[in-house]
Structure 1
Amino acid sequence: MDVLLDLLDPKWWLGMLGAFATIGVIAIVFAETGLLVGFFLPGDSLLVAAGIFSSAAAAQGLGIAPLSLPALLIFAPLAAVAGAQLGHLIGAKMGRKLFDKPDSRLFKREHVDKAEYYFEKFGPAKAVVAARFMPIVRTFMNPVAGVLEMKARRFFVWNVLGGVVWVEAMLLLGYFLGIRVEGIDKYILPGVFVIVFLSLIPIIREVVKSRRAASVEPRGRHHAPK
């Protein structure tokens, strides 16, 4: 349990990265969006925390040097875009066989199914942008888009839009909180759970809707007129 809390706590990540926190955040953004094994990394909360600890007062409370906000604003979006392009390329090159593997600790078929569901429901463009704000889905959406043959040029356009909006919004939200809220570092972990919960609301809503539909369909067929 303690290990799980550490993985969810962006303060733990930033403290562990120490003087290399700015570079580390950029690398984690790339890994979370580009590598299938990066789905467990704290994308949203880490970006917000990076923005918070870009302010001198908040960074002092954590005992680290302030992160470089200009570097994050420039290179974190680039990492997000590059990571997603890598994911799309892997999906396009490997095709369906990329996901033809049994469930394991690092791979769950349901993650792929959920990303594919949003791709089909919202259409490629909206799905690529919306997935940026959904944990886990944002990792699997990119290779799924490649597997489903979304054109690389079209994917790039919407990938850039989604990546830039997502990264900049999270960073600037954190920076604003860091300079406005005194002692903000004490509220990081509770804030993480709020961010994760809000990010999961669309997924939870769709799961509930699909389960209701599945339960209604058999009854409808059972009572259908002959």
Structure 2
Amino acid sequence: MLLDMLGQLDPYLIGAVLLAVLALDGSLLIGTVLPGDAAIVVAGTALTGPAEIAVAAVAGVIGCYLGATGGWLIGRRYGSRVRHSRAGKWIGEHRWTRAERMTTGEGGGPALAASFFLPVVNALIPVLAGTLGVPYRRFIRWALVGSTAWVSTYLVLGSLAGEFVRQNEHLMVPVAGCVAILAAGLAVISRRARADRRARVSEPGGSPAPRTVSPPLQ
């Protein structure tokens, strides 16, 4: 069984791999293709105790620090060219816009920290923070708060899920089926909601009011 194979891996090896993945997540936008959430949860399924989770959590936070710093420097150096590059257009303007709202919105630092729980968006925010001139010290402080909560929470959830599956292998197929149905239903609802919003905006008089951008992160 795959979980049994993962459980035999050295926690330090798992931590090293997680560090590398999360460093690339925020610096080279790898998180737009392979969301870091999935990597953290999979790593968690291989961990079986507080000590192992702590080792992986420290490694994961270091990876987030490196990724956030690298992304900020890329944004600082290249500005909006990343956003308007071929890769940036592939990511989608709606995702960039959502990440920009999180970076410059009224929520300030707490909103930025919470953004780590938003797949894809969390990979874009470091680059946008550098592009928009958010001071590094303020940015990295909240990035560390958010990444610590994000990595720790998902590692614990992954570990609990892995332990549950190992003890209840006979439930794996029905549980997986329920999860797949739920995911498909949420995807359909999300698509319909987006279509309804686009329809309202396209109607006469339905254009949204100009958005006022708040000052950078306080």
Map 1:83-102 → 2, pairs under 5 A: 83-102=67-86
Per-residue CA deviations over 1:85-108 (Å, capped at 9, x if unaligned) read: 211121122212232324678543
Match of 1:53 in 2: 46
Match of 1:139 in 2: 123
User: 1:220–1:159: structure 2 CA closer, same or farther, 3 Å change rule?
Assistant: closer
Q: Does 1:31 align with 2:24?
A: yes
- Whether the 8 Å contact between 2:35 and 2:120 is mirrored in structure 1 is no
- Whether the 8 Å contact between 1:35 and 1:87 is mirrored in structure 2 is yes
Q: Does 1:219 align with 2:209?
A: no
Q: Does 1:80 align with 2:38?
A: no
Per-residue CA deviations over 1:55-109 (Å, capped at 9, x if unaligned) read: 39xxxxxxxxxx9433202111111122112111211222122323246785434
The aligned amino acid for 2:48 is S
The aligned amino acid for 2:82 is L
Match of 1:178 in 2: 162
Give the superposition deviation at 1:113.
Answer: 2.4
Structure 1 alignment gaps of length 5 or more: 1-10, 57-66, 222-226
The aligned amino acid for 2:102 is Y
Per-residue CA deviations over 1:1-42 (Å, capped at 9, x if unaligned) read: xxxxxxxxxx69x97xx7744422221122112212442113
Give the superposition deviation at 1:177.
Answer: 2.9
Match of 1:155 in 2: 139
> How far apart in 1 are the matches of 2:193 and 2:105?
11
User: 1:213–1:142: structure 2 CA closer, same or farther, 3 Å change rule?
Assistant: farther
> How far apart in 1 are the matches of 2:140 and 2:109?
10
Higher mean alpha-carbon deviation, 206-215 vs 153-162, is at 206-215
Per the normalisation by structure 1, the TM-score is 0.67
Per the normalisation by structure 2, the TM-score is 0.69
SS of residue matched to 1:99: coil
Match of 1:116 in 2: 100
SS of residue matched to 2:47: coil
- State which of 39, 43, 50 in structure 1 corresponds to 2:36: 43
> How far apart in 1 are the matches of 2:16 and 2:82?
30
Structure 2 alignment gaps of length 5 or more: 208-218
> How far apart in 1 are the matches of 2:67 and 2:180?
25
- Whether the 8 Å contact between 2:200 and 2:206 is mirrored in structure 1 is no
Give the superposition deviation at 1:45.
Answer: 2.3
SS of residue matched to 1:48: helix
Give the superposition deviation at 1:194.
Answer: 8.9
User: 1:104–1:74: structure 2 CA closer, same or farther, 3 Å change rule?
Assistant: closer
Report percent identity of matched pairs: 24
SS of residue matched to 1:113: helix
- Whether the 8 Å contact between 1:124 and 1:150 is mirrored in structure 2 is no
SS of residue matched to 2:84: coil
The aligned amino acid for 1:55 is T
Map 1:177-196 → 2, pairs under 5 A: 177-181=161-165, 182-183=167-168, 186=172
Give the superposition deviation at 1:142.
Answer: 1.1
RMSD over aligned Cα atoms: 4.0
User: 1:103–1:122: structure 2 CA closer, same or farther, 3 Å change rule?
Assistant: same
